[in-house]
Every structure is written in structure tokens, then in C-alpha cells.
Amino acid sequence: MKLNELTEEEKRVILEKGTEAPFVGEYTNTKETGVYVCKQCEAPLYNSKDKFESTCGWPSFDQEIEGAIKRDSYIDPYFGQEITCANCGGHLGHIFKGEHLTEKDTRHCVNSISLKFVPGIEK
């Protein structure tokens, strides 16, 4: 599997399971049509139609592309359930349920730095 070279900050978040600061990420407020892929391996993760405004400071999605995300078995009461790219294992963020922000009642809170946006047609 070919992996993209990462900056030190990308390594801190994607490989060391860090978190970028809220409201600074490149994709927090994007509304264009396209696909969000993994920054490390470029596997498709989320369609733009599943992105929504949650005002949490990070990009939020209520559904992933089928089979794209791996969920950790442990659910932290404060931090939610960790999610990683199913293809390369890169850290993406966390899933939260029970917030009633969308009909699916799920929020994938994803670090912008873990993503790359590809404008155009969704998967």
C-alpha cells in the first residue's frame, strides 16, 4: 500500500492519535460537492452530502462510505468512540451518538488534517 508522506503535525494527529485545535481545520466549513479521502492513503471516507454543520469546530459527518471506517471497541464516555481509516489505520477522530443533530443521530467528528478533499462527484 502506497502511503503519502506526512508533515510533523499530520503525523501527530494521524499516527499518534492526536487532535487538531477546533475551528482551525481546512474543511470545518466547506460545502462543496465531492469526496473526503484519507490524507495518508487516499481511501474514500466520506461523501460531502453526509457532512453537516455541528458547530463543534471540526468537520462533522453522519455517515461514512460503506466499509471505509474502523470503529474502536471501546467507547469513552467523554471522547466517544475512536475511528480510523479501515485501509491504513490512520486516526480520523471520534463518533458521538445521542446528540440528535441529524436524523441518523450520529456525528463523526473528524480532524481536517486527517482528510483530503477531492471536489466533483461523490462515491
Question: pLDDT per residue over 36-65, tens digit each?
Answer: 999 999 999 999 999 999 999 999 999 999
Domain count, the chain: 1
SS3 helix, strand, coil % of the chain, rounded to 5?
A: 10, 35, 55
Specify the pLDDT at position 74: 80
Domain CATH code at residue 26: 2.170.150.20
Residues classed as catalytic: 109
Provide the domain limits for residue 104: 8-119
| Alpha carbon distance, N-terminus to C-terminus of the chain | 21
Q: How far is CA 39 from the centre of its chain?
A: 10
Q: Does residue 1 sit within a domain?
A: no
Specify the pLDDT at position 41: 98
Biggest CA pair distance of the chain: 38
| Tens digit of each residue's pLDDT (9 = 90 or more) over 71-114 | 998 877 778 899 999 999 999 999 999 899 999 999 999 999 99
The count of residues in the chain is 123
